[in-house]
Amino acid sequence: MAGSEVKVLGTWASPFALRVHIALGIKSVKYEWVEENLEAKSQLLLESNPINKQVPVLIHHHKPICESLAILQYIDEAWPSAPSILPSDPYHRAVARFWAAYIDHKWFTWLKGVASAEGAEAKKAALDRVREGLVVVEEAFGKCSKGKDFFSGDRIGYLDIVLGCFLGWLYVAEKRNDVKLLDEEKMPGLAAWAIKFCLDGAVKDVMPDKDELLDYANMVFQAMAKAKLNAPPNY
């Protein structure tokens, strides 16, 4: 199939867009990547995702699919030949979806909360919550992986992609706050999983370099802090 039939609108730093990169890689689908500028969104992005105006968007046969979790499931269904991304059993699928919702709605919110926490106490509380969340996910990893390398078993799948896309930003939080979050002692399963995930064939060539991500994050946060200082008071 020609690459232009599959287009991905994303940004290199977006963990959600990274999910789409990885999933298409697992299915060996050729695609065109369109790097969006979120300060000046393309007409294509605004037309493809008029509701949220966000990346990623997958465009397949000119039809847009939005929201990364919906995109992952679409990729699995539209290219049904192995390897599959979601488990085949409905109960295991429900478990995978449950943990994906936990990671996106709870854990990632806490990770974002580290950046917005003001003051040493609030920062520490925010970092503790991220760590506690990882302990919960460590337990889930044990149950899902059943002793194998990945949440999905022998090869990466839905939940691996959902959590794995955040590893770069987790590293950013660790470096910016000079702490360890993915602790080999407290979360040995996840720590080992993270290394294997990053080495996976569908991941290693598309995952952004974590130090480049750190430089980018430092730049963004610096700009935000400056904007805050210069902003008129909020009466």
Partner 1 sequence: MADEIMLLDWWSSMFGMRVRIALVEKGLKYESREEDLNNKSPLLLEMNPVHTKIPVLIHNGKPICESPIIVEYIDEVWKDKSPLLPTDPYQRAHARFWADYIDNKIFQLGGKIWTRKGEDQEAAKKELMECLKILEGELGEKPFFGGENFGFVDVSLVTFSCWFYAYESFGNFSIEAECPKLIAWTKRCLQKSSVSSSLPDPLKIHDFVVQLRKKFGIE
Q: Which residues bind partner 1 (CB under 8 A)?
A: 51, 60, 63, 65-67, 69-71, 73-74, 77-78, 90-91, 93-94, 97-98, 101-102, 136
Which of 209-233 are b and which e, b meaning 16 or more Cβ less than 10 Å from the residue's Cβ?
ebeebbebbeeeeeeeeeeeeeeee
Q: Whose Cβ is closer to partner 1: residue 54's or residue 152's?
A: 54
Rounded Cα distance between 4 and 52, Å, is 24
Q: In this structure, what token pair is assigned to residue 23?
A: 């999933």
Residue appearing with tokens 């210069």? 230
Q: Whose Cβ is closer to partner 1: residue 62's or residue 228's?
A: 62
Amino acid, single-letter form, for residue 156: I
Which helix (H) or strand (E) segment is 8 a member of?
strand 6-10
Distances in Å between the Cα of 192 and the Cα atoms of 61, 95, 175 are 39, 22, 20
Least Å distance, CB 235 to partner 1, is: 14
Q: Whose Cβ is closer to partner 1: residue 103's or residue 126's?
A: 103
Least Å distance, CB 90 to partner 1, is: 4
Q: In this structure, what token pair is assigned to residue 104?
A: 């996106």
Least Å distance, CB 99 to partner 1, is: 9
Q: Whose Cβ is closer to partner 1: residue 91's or residue 230's?
A: 91
Q: Whose Cβ is closer to partner 1: residue 72's or residue 111's?
A: 72
Distances in Å between the Cα of 216 and the Cα atoms of 41, 144, 207, 222, 229 are 19, 34, 15, 10, 20
Least Å distance, CB 216 to partner 1, is: 27
